[in-house]
Each structure stands twice: as structure tokens, then as C-alpha cells.
Amino acid sequence: MRTFPITGRIKRFASVFRDNGYSLFVVGGAVRDFLLGLGNSDLDFTTDARPEEVIALFRTVIPTGIAHGTVTVIFEGEHYEVTTFRSEGEYKDGRRPSSVTFIPSLEEDLKRRDFTINAFAASAITGKIVDNHNGEQDLKDGIIRAIGNPYERFDEDALRIMRAARISGKLNFTIEERTFNAMGTLKENLRLVSVERLHDELVHLVKSAYPKKGFEYLHASGALAVILPELAQGDGVLQKGFHHEDVLQHSLTTCQKAADIGSSVHVRLAALFHDIGKTATRKPDGDRFSFHNHEIVGEALTKTILRRLKASNEEIDTVSHLVRHHMFTYTPEMTDSAVRRFIVRVGIEHIEDLFKLRIADQMAISGRADTDLLDEFSKRINGIISSDDALSIKDLAIGGNDLLALGIPKGKRIGQTLQYLLETVLDDPAQNTKEQLFRIALAYQELCGFTSD
């Protein structure tokens, strides 16, 4: 077997362990990815030194996960995660080991890992690779196989069910049959796993190169219905018309296309959820179906899902916003005023993401995207953004203080008037002068029956 490349700095780091009578290994994904010829900047280390012993060896050590035996050492300016060899105690609830036992044996530590291809260790001094579970053969064959008995592995920690899917998505690997069957048998245990851990793995899968593959494993095993029932319900929901796939397949294909075009995680999640409102809104419509307001139902469902998974507010807001607006249309006849309203509705900062979502959606439907039309729309949007046309209240030629000076009383009415002025200016930017806006503001007071008391 090849030797893992040990840089000078890692060797100096490992020497500190060796000189104090301890061993240090690079373990897990980094060794796997090296053997596959992939880059992996994220190094995980494992050692026989106990956490308090590691802390004693270095000046700066952060106790990042000390309950599980993990500390982060800052060495020559780099952050290194070091975990003490451990055999996990009994898993009583399929969530987390009920106790962690530190052990002096690398062999035992490697046995408690999830998959054969994740159980390599490389000496951090020599780079010599240890492979006790025939991981190299599985790597060659492109196979994800649980170490030992897969039923026991998934029963100990059901998150491994998602990890199997996400690694298949990362590497385009096949999940070995018994391992796959165990996923199906133990899928209900995913309900015991903390939503933060589920969310983390979901994001890893969505970020991977082959998310569709991972999601298909989750669906085929029944695990998708446990973690994302709203998505799994799209299975068999036919669309007819120009869609050749059911709602679930289309969602997975769109997520895959979003990955293929190098989209952000937010766009990939929006791609996964963009049609999630279709199942609830489908109505027969001649020989087709209609899905009126599916983007509005979809926005609400997306919020429900991401809140349940305790995603950040930024993720919840951005992804649900993209879902809400994914049905936009553009034709060359669209007026400048309509383009300005589109920009205001969607928000300048979301337009690029929304276009990526559209490209992924079109590619999923027909294999190609109508980029000419989108390019034209993009040009018009950029033209408006680079002109000085007002797109928000702060761009108006007058502000709240000017309205107060006009005699409009403090309070709600100022805001309403400014909003009205913005609407006017979106229709006709030429109105954005002090004189015109004063005139319009006063006329608006009369229109609303406001008196100047």
C-alpha cells in the first residue's frame, strides 16, 4: 500500500507525541481521500494520549469535544483535531454512546468506526497506512460497507445511515447489500438522532458531487420518509405536461443539476425543496394537473422543515425565499417598471441564486436551460441596477424628515407615504425629484382622506 504524505509540520507535531511516549495517526477521511487521489484539507488525528495528556503537551489547546475525547491543538498556527483512541460504551438509545472509554489500542479504535473505507490510519511520523478492515479493496471496488455487523453499527448510531448515503454521494460509491438492508431495517432509529447532527449530514450530502445518488439510497431504504417526509411524499406524484418525472424524482434531479453547475448549498437546498408544495396543491386540469400556489405552500413547508432541523435563520430565510420566487417569468415585452418590481420583490442579493435555481430546474426538465432568455433578463436587471433608479425607500429624493416638515404627522402615515412614493417611482423613475415627490406626497394625503390636523 502507498504511504500517506506527511508534511514537515505534521512530522514535527507528531514528534511531540513520540518524544513523550505517545503515538499519533492521521485517521479517517483524509487517508481515504488520499488513496482515492482526492484532496482533503481536513485532517483528523487519533492518539493513545488521553485528552488531559494532550493538553499538557502543548501551549494552546481548545477542549472542543472533550467529553468524546477530542481537543483542538494549535500548532505552528494550524488547528489540529486530536481524538483519543476510544471504544464506545453501550449505545442505549441509538443516539450517542452512553459512555466513552479511552483505550490504548489503535485496532480497537478503528473497529468502532462506521465504514471500512473510513477506518484507515496512517502513522503521522512515517505515513505507513494501517488497513485492518480490507478498506483498500472496498475503495477499489467503490463500495461502502459497514465494519462488522451493519445492523449493530446502525443500531449503535443511526446517523451512520445518513453517513452511508452522504459518502455514496461524495464518492459515487455503491452501498453494499447487507449494509443497505440494515439501513432499511433500522431507519426508524433516525428519529432518535439529534436534529443538529441530521442537518449537518444533510448539508454534507447536498454539498456532495452526487447528491441524487445519496438521496436515492435514502429513499429506497425508507430513511427519507423518516427524515424528510414532505419530500418523500412526492414519490409517484405524476405531473404530466412537460415533466417526465414525478415530483420526488424531479426534485432530486434538480438538486443534482444544481450541484453539476456548482451552486451554493442554499441553491441546492432550494432545488431539493422547490416543488415540495406540489403534492398538496395538485388538481386535475384537463389531461394535465395544475399546482396553483405550490410555491407559496412550498415556502411554508421549506420553513417548517428547516426550522425542525434547527437550521440557521439565514439558511431558513434564503432557501424558503428562493422556493417562494422560483416561478418567475420573463418575456422580452416585460416593461422596465415590471423589471424594477421584480428586483425589489426578489432582492438584488438573491437574483443570481434564483437564476441558478431556474437553470437547474430547466436542465432537470429538458436536459438544457434557456440561457439566452435569462441572459437578456440579466442584462436588463443589471442595466437598472447600474442606473440610479430608486429601488428602495432610501433611494428616494426625499425622506421621512422631509415629510414631517410638510406637516405629515409622525407615525404609520410617514411609512405608508414613503412606500407609496417608492411604488410611484418604480413605475416612473422620472418622478424621483424633490418637487415631484412633495407634490405626490400631498396628493396621496388627500387621496387617503388624511387631513392635516
CA-CA distance, 191 to 95, in Å (whole number)? 9
Comparison of 96 and 324: residue with beta carbon closer to ligand ATP: 96
70-75, strands of its sheet edge to edge: 60-65, 70-75, 78-84, 44-47, 24-27, 120-123, 129-131
Q: Please, what is the minimum distance in Å from the beta carbon of residue 110 to Mg ion?
A: 15
Q: Report if residue 159 touches ligand ATP, rule: CB under 6 A.
A: yes
- Strand 143-144 relative to strand 174-175: parallel, antiparallel, unpaired? parallel
Q: Report if residue 294 touches ligand ATP, rule: CB under 6 A.
A: no
146 DSSP 8-state letter: B
Q: Are 413 and 450 in contact (CB under 8 A)?
A: yes
Comparison of 118 and 123: residue with beta carbon closer to ligand ATP: 118
Start-to-end CA span in the chain (Å):
88
**Per rule CB under 6 A, count of chain residues that contact ligand ATP:** 13
Q: Report if residue 113 touches ligand ATP, rule: CB under 6 A.
A: yes
Grid cell, residue 440, equals 405626490
Angle at 174 between CA 149 and CA 1, to 5 degrees: 80
Interaction pattern, residues 14-33, with Mg ion; x per rule: CB under 5 A: ---------------x----
Q: Please, what is the minimum distance in Å from the beta carbon of residue 408 to Mg ion?
A: 60
How many residues in total does the chain contain?
Answer: 453
Comparison of 43 and 248: residue with beta carbon closer to Mg ion: 43
Task: Pick from 40, 174, 264, 337 the residue near ligand ATP by CB under 6 A.
Answer: 40
Task: Pick from 131, 138, 157, 295 the residue near ligand ATP by CB under 6 A.
Answer: 157
CA-CA distance, 128 to 106, in Å (whole number)? 14
Task: Pick from 42, 141, 423, 428 the residue near Mg ion by CB under 5 A.
Answer: 42
Grid cell, residue 337, equals 417598471
User: By Cβ distance, which residue is nearest to ligand ATP?
Assistant: 29
Q: Report if residue 138 touches ligand ATP, rule: CB under 6 A.
A: no
Q: Report if residue 214 touches Mg ion, rule: CB under 5 A.
A: no
Q: Please, what is the minimum distance in Å from the beta carbon of residue 78 to ligand ATP?
A: 16
SS3 annotation, 365-388: HHCCCCHHHHHHHHHHHHHHHHCC
For residue 237, give the 3-state DSSP assignment: coil
310: alpha, beta or left? (left if phi > 0; alpha if psi -120 to 50): left
Task: Kindly indicate which of the ranges 38-46, 57-65, 118-126, 209-217 contains the residues binding Mg ion, using the contact rule CB under 5 A.
Answer: 38-46
Q: Please, what is the minimum distance in Å from the beta carbon of residue 363 to Mg ion?
A: 31
Task: Kindly indicate which of the ranges 41-49, 89-97, 251-259, 409-417 contains the residues binding Mg ion, using the contact rule CB under 5 A.
Answer: 41-49
**Per rule CB under 5 A, count of chain residues that contact Mg ion:** 2
Of 345, 374, 348, the closest CA to residue 359 belongs to 374
Q: What contacts 237, CB < 8 A, 6 or more positions away?
A: 246, 247, 248, 278, 279, 282
Residue 185 contacts which entry, ligand ATP, Mg ion, none (Cβ below 5-8 A, type-dependent):
none
Q: Report if residue 118 touches ligand ATP, rule: CB under 6 A.
A: yes
CA-CA distance, 392 to 139, in Å (whole number)? 55
Grid cell, residue 373, equals 432568455
Judged by CB under 6 A, the chain residues 400 through 439 that form the site for ligand ATP are: none
Task: Kindly indicate which of the ranges 34-42, 286-294, 354-362, 380-388 contains the residues binding Mg ion, using the contact rule CB under 5 A.
Answer: 34-42
Comparison of 62 and 440: residue with beta carbon closer to ligand ATP: 62
Q: What contacts 345, CB < 8 A, 6 or more positions away?
A: 325
Q: Please, what is the minimum distance in Å from the beta carbon of residue 208 to ligand ATP?
A: 9
Residue 353 contacts which entry, ligand ATP, Mg ion, none (Cβ below 5-8 A, type-dependent):
none
Q: Please, what is the minimum distance in Å from the beta carbon of residue 381 to ligand ATP?
A: 37
Comparison of 44 and 230: residue with beta carbon closer to ligand ATP: 44
Task: Pick from 10, 34, 44, 96 the residue near ligand ATP by CB under 6 A.
Answer: 44
Task: Pick from 22, 47, 85, 114 the residue near ligand ATP by CB under 6 A.
Answer: 114
CA-CA distance, 120 to 135, in Å (whole number)? 7
- Strand 44-47 relative to strand 78-84: parallel, antiparallel, unpaired? parallel
CA-CA distance, 166 to 140, in Å (whole number)? 18
Interaction pattern, residues 20-39, with ligand ATP; x per rule: CB under 6 A: --------xx----------
CA dihedral sign of residues 70, 104, 7, 59:
positive
Q: Please, what is the minimum distance in Å from the beta carbon of residue 157 to Mg ion?
A: 16
128 DSSP 8-state letter: P
CA-CA distance, 320 to 304, in Å (whole number)? 10
Given the rule CB under 5 A, which residues bind Mg ion?
A: 29, 42
Given the rule CB under 6 A, which residues bind ligand ATP?
A: 28-29, 40, 42, 44, 113-114, 118-119, 157, 159-160, 163
